[in-house]
Structure 1
Amino acid sequence: MEKIQMTTPLVEMDGDEMTRILWKDIKDVLLLPYIELKTEYYDLGLPERERTADQVTVDSAEATKKYGVAVKCATITPNAQRLDEYNLTEMWKSPNGTIRAILDGTVFRAPIMVKGISPVVKTWKQPITIARHAYGDVYRATEYRVPGPGVAELVFSGADGKDFRQTIYNFECAGVLQGQYNKDSSITSFARSCFQYAIDTRQDLWFSTKDTISKKYDHTFKDIFQDIYDAEYKDQFERLGIEYFYTLIDDAVARVIRSQGGFIWACKNYDGDVMSDMVSTAFGSLAMMTSVLVSPDGKYEYEAAHGTVTRHYYRYLEGENPSTNPMATLFAWTGALAKRGELDGIPALADFARKLERASIATIESGVMTKDLAGLWEGAAPAKSVTTAEFLQAIRENLDKALAG
């Protein structure tokens, strides 16, 4: 078949370790033979981030603002071990955190469901999408290790010359302090992104915090969501027959476990980080989770929800052919290509992306899968556990059939 032509480039953000290997293999086997791939490439691998003092991450986010759609490989957020391993001058910040802050986006994560792998929670019949606020809170907190007795205070010096001061705790011994913040503007963007995504996908929206304990911080989130819903989205929700409601996060957890799925669960930054892992694992695997960052002005960054699969990478370096699940990384590419096709008016590109997704799911449902899924398989025939390369080739065979049909 003639290759599909693109008009606007995707912003391509390469990554680290095993996912970097997957990145190239997916392109070589499943994309480049079919698409005249047009990308603006940024290497977010740790060596390049060190070389550029992490400027490459900022540049990639700015390019996303320019072109509107990005696809990102998993990247390392360095700790003390990585500092030594990669001879870094400093522990560079999470690229995801930097990109999210620049785009002011909300992360939407949903499981990839396949027949033959049932969720751990037996009542779940439809995907649960986690909407994670991607700004502030503990991820931008200021911390201090209290060395001994003393008074800790919360101080705010207003631009109008008025100060606020309140004692946090009068320490009688050593301890630890943490100060975190958020902004009304970012919370507002978060709320609008969630409401619009619910409308676009025709799903109910749940929002949960702990406002009974955090009567200023969390309550501000609750109030902003409600004000925006009442003023801007209530009529649209009612016309579509979908619902928005707020509940405490502990109540939300109970409701989620008893539900059948099929809704969006909006969470603050840390809550969303934790709950997305819980939901994805309960549905089967972190490698079976889609993730897209959506900014309030309509910019999109698709990525895998998992890390760089370090253990498999070390084995790969020793000459092994690991069985690493590429689904989340593959669906990052298909999500970005489908959105690019939609925005640019190229239906063939969007159609190709959806056929590739269906071919990938069909491959697993036929019993061919990577090792991580084989242990979860409930199909009638035994699972066939294959290497990553064999799995990608099996997908390609199913894709060729779909394209020929």
Structure 2
Amino acid sequence: MPRLVMKFGGTSVADLDRIRNAAARIKREVDAGYDVAVVVSAMSGKTNELVGWVRESGALYDAREYDAVVSSGEQVTSGLMALTLQAMGIEARSWQGWQVPVRTTSAHGAARIEDIETQNLDAKFSDGMQVAVIAGFQGLSPENRITTLGRGGSDTTAVAFAAALGAERCDIYTDVDGIYTTDPRIVAEARKLDRIAYEEMLELASLGAKVLQTRSVELAMRYKVRLQVLSSFEDKPGTLVCDEEEIMESNVVSGVAFQRDEAKLTLISVADRPGIAAAIFGPLADAGVNVDMIVQNISEEGRTDMTFSCPVDEVPHARKALEQAMERGEINYHGLDADTNVAKVSIVGIGMRSHAGVAKKMFRALANDGVNIKVITTSEIKVSVLIDRKYLELAVRALHDAFDLEKAN
């Protein structure tokens, strides 16, 4: 039997009515002849509630017990979904991560999948099981403890199972009906894309688009898993995330992504010498600061300024890490300037590879609307800029209009 993976997020299984709605969609695929692996998240709001209870229990909690508690949300959902499918006459059963098993690293709260052993699932499918309802977001460490995969872990679970089971496709059901050229709440004319390349989706996800989790797209690209993003609540075509070869023609720019809560930090007058970048960004990495854009100014009299961006809530960690590096004598600087009122706006598109003038068009569109650019970074298929946060929505609309993203190619 061909296999299909279907993933339902928290809003899609928020109560029994929504679980029944999701079960009806699963039944359609079973009736169409598929063996189905369903990956479920915890019911909407439950994970936050469980996390809150753990934190209330004590500030210095055991990360292994944190995972034991927080993973229970998916266990409840998987059992309820299996019961609902059984009531519809479908041979279904629930599976926890340790029962499959899903082998992960030991990094509790942020584990990574290392292997999925499918023998147990294969045997049950051969015995007549039609649907395996799998608890997402969780696995089993080498020490045989339950682990969780971090934010968006159920998306990653679903893609990993699609790869391991050789599934025809991985369908991600959520509260939106696909991937848009930008956030429709900012640009009413935003257009839903029929298809998008893995590389474009990976850039959009890493640059602020919230539809798919970055790790899940990385995994899909590596194993060529065809991903489809669909609405749980409407019967509409979704967006297929696939290989570039499956897209006949595409716009030069496919989408505009943004991140509101960025900060720009500048180390003023740093010694310009070999190894200075490592001396600055090593301690930041050790402190868990997620550095993004980096710009080094022209050196004058052996000293230079170093500018980088990071999430605004990581500024205190960055400041502390740099001060400690200074105290240890690893770096020397005259000041640290932190601008916590900036945002990042990016354009993404595989068409940029073969079209000149994309950056020029972007910068002109922003200039025409009076938006000043503070920092610029580029890659083969993206251009990102830091701007004042108050101009974010204006910039997104200006770029969407400039590249005619409301129109299909």
TM above 0.5, one fold? no
User: Per the shorter chain, which TM-score range?
Assistant: under 0.3
Greater relative contact order structure (CA < 8 Å, 6+ sep): 1
Q: Provide TM-score, normalisation by structure 1.
A: 0.25
Q: Which has the higher strand share?
A: 2
More helix, by proportion: 1
